[in-house]
Amino acid sequence: MSAIKVLLVDDEAPARNRLRELLQDIAAVTVVGDAKNGKEAVNLAMEHKPDIVLLDIRMPHMDGIEAAGHLQKLTPSPAIIFTTAYDTYAVRAFDMNAVDYLLKPIRLERLRTAIEKAGRLRPEQLTGLQPLQAQRTHFSVLERGRVLLVPVDDIIFFRAELKYVTIRTREREYLIEDSLNSIEEEFGTRFLRLHRNCLVAQGSIMGYEKRHAQEGESHYVALLRDVPDTVAVSRRQQHLLKGLAKG
């Protein structure tokens, strides 16, 4: 039997050390790395391909629930065991979606049971996970067998094209399968729907101008910071830009 590869994720070093010590007493388990936040966890998981991730829920920068959603896109995806000091809403909300959850302080026999359970399950336990916080901090992009994390703060606009949505940052474009409607619902007015196929970061809008087509018709476009792209503005949404200009 090959060793079960485990990745430890917790923002507190004593908690990671405690898990490492406990796992030494469980046969056929190898710790392949540890991370202090969700973003580090995704990067290490791509590198080490763990069978199981012991994942704290409450962490800065990217919480465990969001990280679990990104980990789901890996092939194969690891089993998730949440670790938490909270036995209230977080546990009740997520215990049906993860392989298991462990309440801190974690006991050896409880950890052993969770590891054994994880070995019998996978990889569908992540289905239906929703972020613990209201909005994601990153979008995960599957590209050439790797998961890339794109910070929401870097996104200038989303544009729907056929069955995909293009993310535009200052550096490049990415393709995702989220719908514009779901993104708009998640982020509210942080991204403005200037056209039926485009959501633009409010902070990236520099201004707007009126352009004339050869046929004589005119339309407005939004001018954006840091990129040469412009975004067409539908007639019914022109009031949004004019409102920003007045503000």
At 93 the pLDDT is 46
Task: Give the pLDDT of residue 213.
Answer: 72
Q: Is residue 81 part of a domain?
A: yes
Domain that holds residue 85: 4-126
**Helices in the chain by DSSP H: which ranges?**
13-23, 38-48, 64-71, 89-94, 108-120, 180-187, 238-246
CATH of the domain at 150: 2.40.50.1020
Is 241 found in the same domain as 186?
A: yes
Domain shared by 110 and 186, yes or no: no
**Are both 86 and 196 inside the same structural domain?**
no
Q: In this structure, is residue 10 part of a structural domain?
A: yes
Residues 76 and 117 in one domain: yes
90 and 198: one domain?
no
Closest CA to 71 of 129, 16, 17: 129
Cα–Cα distance for residue pair 219/204, rounded to 1 Å: 20
pLDDT at position 180: 95
How confident is the model over 51-79, as pLDDT tens digits? 999 999 889 989 888 898 899 888 888 99
Please indicate, yes or no, if residue 213 is contained in any of the structural domains: yes
**Are 215 and 121 part of one and the same domain?**
no
- The series of mean pLDDT values per 10 residues for the chain, 247 residues long, is 90 97 95 96 96 93 88 88 75 59 92 88 51 76 90 97 94 95 93 94 90 76 92 85 63
Directed axis angle between helix 38-48 and helix 64-71, to 10°? 30
In-domain check, residue 131: no
**Residue 21, C-beta contacts closer than 8 angstroms, at least 6 positions apart:** none
Is the residue at 108 inside a domain? yes
Please, is 19 exposed, middle or buried when counting C-beta atoms within 10 Å of its C-beta (0-12, 13-18, 19+)? buried
**84 and 159 within one domain:** no
Task: Say whether both 120 and 147 belong to one domain.
Answer: no
Predicted confidence at residue 90, as pLDDT, reads: 54
Give residue 210's pLDDT.
Answer: 85
pLDDT for res 126: 44
Q: Structurally, how many domains does the chain consist of? A: 2
